[in-house]
């Protein structure tokens, strides 16, 4: 399991603590230094039917600096390039499960459902 977060993000810290309370210890990546791969981001975009809201941190300064209109005008390839260039544009935390599923943002009920059957690290 791969966890992409940002140390200054309180939601990321809550999500990581939540995972650890369940005995799960994901490999951690600073999303601003090492964002998920272009292939992973493209896969999430495709799985969402092209809806971008699940990928974007629309409350962040990076998004506001670009502007909603500029983001809407981007092609998918341009959006992916922008997300790779600035990990703060990505909605976080960004959790990649070992089976390839991806969870963005921290919603405990959805994470709980998605993690059913995932064994703790010491099992």
pLDDT of 15-73, one tens digit each?
999 999 999 999 999 999 999 999 999 988 888 887 888 899 998 899 999 999 999 99
pLDDT digits (tens, 9 = 90+) for 97-111: 998 889 999 999 999
- No. of helices (H) and no. of strands (E), the chain: 6, 4
3-class secondary-structure state, position 72: helix
User: Please, are residues 105 and 99 in contact by the beta-carbon 8 Å criterion?
Assistant: no
Q: Identify the H or E element spanning 30.
A: strand 27-30
Please report the pLDDT score of residue 123 as a whole number: 45
Cα torsion 30, 31, 35, 40: sign: positive
Please report the pLDDT score of residue 91 as a whole number: 92
pLDDT band at 122 (very low <50, low <70, confident <90, very high): low
pTM for the structure as a whole: 0.86
Before 24, cis peptide (omega within 30)? no
Class of domain 2-114: alpha beta
User: Please, are residues 51 and 91 in contact by the beta-carbon 8 Å criterion?
Assistant: no
Please report the pLDDT score of residue 16 as a whole number: 97
User: Please, are residues 88 and 5 in contact by the beta-carbon 8 Å criterion?
Assistant: no
């Amino acid at each position: 399991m791969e966890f992409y977060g940002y140390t200054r993000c309180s939601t990321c810290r809550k999500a990581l603590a939540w995972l650890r309370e369940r005995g799960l210890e994901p490999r951690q990546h600073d999303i601003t230094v090492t964002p998920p791969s272009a292939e992973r981001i493209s896969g999430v975009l495709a799985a969402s039917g092209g809806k971008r809201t699940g990928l974007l941190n629309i409350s962040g300064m990076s998004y506001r600096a670009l502007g909603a209109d500029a983001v809407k005008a981007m092609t998918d390839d341009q959006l992916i390039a922008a997300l790779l260039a600035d990990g703060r544009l990505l909605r976080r935390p960004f959790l990649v499960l070992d089976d390839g599923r991806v969870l963005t943002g921290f919603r405990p009920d959805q994470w709980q459902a998605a993690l059913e059957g995932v064994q703790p690290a010491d099992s």
